[in-house]
Amino acid sequence: MEDKRELLKNPVHSIYIPIGLILFGTWIFSWEYMPYSIAFIVIVCTVKYYEAYKNRSSLHKTIWQDFELMDKTIIAPMTSIYRFKLRRDDEVLDIPTGHHVACCFNINGKDEIRYYSPISNQFDSGFFDILVKHYEHGVVTRRLAQINEGQTVKFRGPFGKLDYKPNMARELVLIAGGTGITPILQVITRIITNPDDHTKIKLIFGNETEKDILLKSEIDEIASKYPDFEVYYTVTHPTEGWTGGSGYVDRAMLEKQLPKANEGNKVFICGPPEMKESLKGITEEMGWESENVFCF
Ligand SMILES: Cc1cc2nc3c(=O)[nH]c(=O)nc-3n(C[C@H](O)[C@H](O)[C@H](O)COP(=O)(O)OP(=O)(O)OC[C@H]3O[C@@H](n4cnc5c(N)ncnc54)[C@H](O)[C@@H]3O)c2cc1C
């Protein structure tokens, strides 16, 4: 289906070139028809621009837009999923894979901006979800927790560096720490919902305790349904009976879990800055070329 929003983003192919061709054709055929051609062009352009404007994205890259909170679900002691309404019921927040949105609260006269990677997918229409971990002294997350359904929050975007292309890796290892799972989940969803993307995925998900593993049942369900998706959990404080990995993601763990360096394989990492730094260094020592390792 034609995406009417594209017209506003890139009018060259759908407006300027057809107009040029009509005018050129009229000039070749007969000058007399020029007023009719111009009238035709004006009508068609007005209709097209109106449709494109009506179907424009709720999210804007540079202008803050208000989004109404539809629902808030507590999924762990300090973590909630917030659902925000899009302008139209059939609109999807179609942002590039692994990209994030900026959220802004004016607190004591100062704009406080924080970033969140939506976890809803390209098929969820009418809303988008963000998963937020709350911090006791967190400036923005404390304010977010006080928002009630029907109230609005300012967002803009999308932003991000990842340029994901289907089949860009033979095997893709995704390493997440805590809330770092959010952009990683976007990548997983994008791959498993595209029948033409044959990438084999391995998720290594590190957390403090088993209870801190966000969206574990959803991830386990994906693992049970998709043979090309495998998950390895590791926790720093395992309880008795824990069968996954224990401790931080380190070189010994990566040596067991990663496929052969390079050879069409890639690694994406998202977690706290220290985790990203350390894993970037380790992958380098293990021979991974920097172009095959991406840190969110
Ligand atoms: C690209 C990007 C995407 C992000 N996506 C998400 C997301 O999907 N979900 C999500 O929950 N967060 C995400 N974050 C983090 C988020 O932007 C905020 O930093 C976080 O919500 C804390 O904001 P705050 O104002 O409440 O805390 P702040 O007031 O900024 O910090 C208060 C205190 O909380 C602690 N703290 C804050 N952030 C962290 C952290 N990440 N790890 C450990 N301690 C911390 C620190 O001790 C800090 O002193 C993302 C960040 C980036 C850069």
What is the 3-state secondary structure of 246-262?
ECCCCHHHHHHHCCCCC
pLDDT exceeds 70 at position 6: no
pLDDT exceeds 70 at position 1: no
User: Who contacts 174 (Cβ-Cβ below 8 Å, separation ≥6)?
Assistant: 184, 187, 188, 201, 202, 203, 204, 267, 268, 270
pLDDT exceeds 70 at position 18: yes
Mean pLDDT, residues 268-272: 97
CATH 2.40.30.10 fits 65-159, yes or no: yes
Say yes or no: CB of residue 143 within 6 Å of ligand 1.
no
Degrees, nearest 5: CA angle 161-166-171:
95
Q: Given this model, what pLDDT does residue 4 score?
A: 59
pLDDT exceeds 70 at position 80: yes
Mean pLDDT, residues 168-178: 98
Degrees, nearest 5: CA angle 121-126-129:
45
Q: How far apart are the C-alpha atoms of 126 and 134, rounded to whole Å?
A: 25
Ligand-binding site membership of 114 (annotated): yes
Mean pLDDT, residues 78-98: 95
Mean pLDDT, residues 198-221: 97
Say yes or no: CB of residue 275 within 6 Å of ligand 1.
no
Q: Given this model, what pLDDT does residue 2 score?
A: 53
Mean pLDDT, residues 200-223: 97
Work out which ligand 1 atom sits closest to the CA atom of 296.
1
Kindly give the distance from the C-alpha atom of residue 139 to the centroid of ligand 1, in angstroms, as a whole number. 9
Which residue lies with its CA nearest to atom 2 of ligand 1? 115
Cα torsion angle, 246, 247, 248, 254, sign: negative
Is 126 within 8 Å of 157 (Cβ atoms)? no
What's the CATH architecture for 171-295?
Answer: 3-Layer(aba) Sandwich (3.40)
Asked which of 39-43, 84-88, 164-168, 267-271 is least confident by mean pLDDT, the reply is: 39-43
Q: How far apart are the C-alpha atoms of 290 and 288, rounded to whole Å?
A: 6
Burial class (CB in 10 A: 0-12, 13-18, 19+), 38: middle
Is 22 within 8 Å of 41 (Cβ atoms)? yes
pLDDT band at 31 (very low <50, low <70, confident <90, very high): confident
Domains 65-159 and 171-295 share a fold: no
pLDDT exceeds 80 at position 14: no
Instruction: Delimit the domains of the chain by residue range.
Output: 6-54, 65-159, 171-295
Q: Given this model, what pLDDT does residue 52 score?
A: 79
